[in-house]
Structures are given as structure tokens and as C-alpha cells.
Homo-oligomer: A and B are copies of this chain.
Amino acid sequence: MTAKERLLSAAKDLLWDYGYEKMSPKDIQKKADVGQGSFYHHFESKESLAAQAVREISDDMQNTLSAVFETSKPPLERVKDYLKQPREALRGCRIGKLVQEVSVTHNSLLPPISEYFARLQQELALLLQCAQQEGAFPLEADATQLAAAISAAVQGGYVLSRALNDPKQMEMATSGILSMIEFMERRL
């Protein structure tokens, strides 16, 4: 890996564990085994590097999404598969945890994050609507609201897991949603 690639990779890791504000240029240089000179040769600033790192994280996560959503399974199964995905609950969401920082919502890091969540919700809503058209899910449900609730439960699962220092919180939150979906499926 080139120095530039190592810097990006290190930044992606540190953003996950430390967040944007607490991640210092020196932390990145040390983790990437790269000198200060190289850092500022390849990137204009910490924000510039972070913006590119967040862009890559968003792309990675959208690819993961595609792997779950673009299958031949019935639409509602794909929604359930999303809920059942393995997650590093205590580490937090690579992308969701960043939005709590003032320095992130007020700079160039936000757009790739918004993009990820917009796409997630859009795909979930679409799948739910398909399920409804196929008669696999109650028509009275509001697909858009449900999509928001599902993505919120996952993000909240991360928060609760960290707050209670217990990875099972994620499992409970997603299982709770899953149970409700299956209930609605049975009684349509």
C-alpha cells in the first residue's frame, strides 16, 4: 500500500474508534506509519483527509447494503435479512456515530453520510411496498414510516449498546422490530 492509501485506511479506522474531533493528524500518521511531511503532501488538511475517508466508508457500506438487498429472495425477506445482519454493537456505527459531532454536521463530512441513510431508507421503503403489492404485508402500513423506524432501531441499537455497555441491546432492538414485522405478516 502506498502512503496515501495507508493514511486513508488509518483515518477510516480512527474515525470509527475515536470520531472526527478526537482523531488528530499525529494519530493518523502514527497508525499509518507515515511522516508529517507525507501527510500534508497528500492531503490539504485533516478535514480534507477525513472527508475522503468518510466518502469511502459510505461507499463500503452501500456495497454491503447492495449485497443484502439485491438478491432473488422475496422483498420482505430482504428487509428481515437487513435486520439480522451482524453488527459490532459496542464499536458503534461507522457512519452514524459521526453525526453527533458538531464539527461533522457543520462541514464537508456530512454529505456522504446523508447519502447512505437516504439510500438505506429508500431501499427499505421500496421493498416494503413490493411486499405489500405481492400481498405479503398489510396495505395499511406506511412503508416510508416503517423504513424510518427500521433504520432508527438499528442506529438506536448502537446507542443503547454503548450506553448500557451491552452488545445484546442491539440484538434486542432488532429482534423487537423483527417480531412486529412477523406479527403483521401473519395477520394481514
Chain A interface (Cβ < 8 Å from any Cβ of B) = 17-19, 21-22, 92-93, 95-97, 99-103, 105, 110, 113-114, 116-118, 138, 140-142, 144-157, 159-160, 162-165, 169, 172-177, 179-181, 183-184, 187
Q: Considering only CB atoms, which chain B residue lies closest to A140 in the complex? A: B183
- Return chain B residues, CB-CB under 8 Å to A151: 156, 160, 173
- Return chain B residues, CB-CB under 8 Å to A176: 142, 145-150, 152
Most chain B beta-carbon neighbours within 10 Å: one of A100, A117, A140, A142: A100
Instruction: State the number of copies, please.
Output: 2
CB–CB A164/B117 < 8 A: yes
A19 to B102, CA, bound (A): 8
CB–CB A163/B114 < 8 A: yes
Lowest 8 A-B CB distances belong to which pairs?
Answer: A149-B176, A152-B156, A156-B156, A155-B156, A152-B173, A148-B172, A145-B176, A155-B159
Q: Considering only CB atoms, which chain B residue lies closest to A120 in the complex? A: B160
CB–CB A163/B117 < 8 A: yes
- Return chain B residues, CB-CB under 8 Å to A101: 19, 22
Q: Considering only CB atoms, which chain B residue lies closest to A95 in the complex? A: B163
The 17 listed contacts between A and B (C-beta, < 8 Å) are: A21-B21, A22-B102, A22-B103, A99-B159, A113-B163, A114-B165, A116-B163, A148-B172, A149-B172, A149-B175, A149-B176, A151-B160, A152-B152, A152-B154, A153-B173, A159-B159, A184-B184
Contact of A162 with B105 at beta-carbon distance under 8 Å, contacts A92-B100, A172-B149 already known? yes
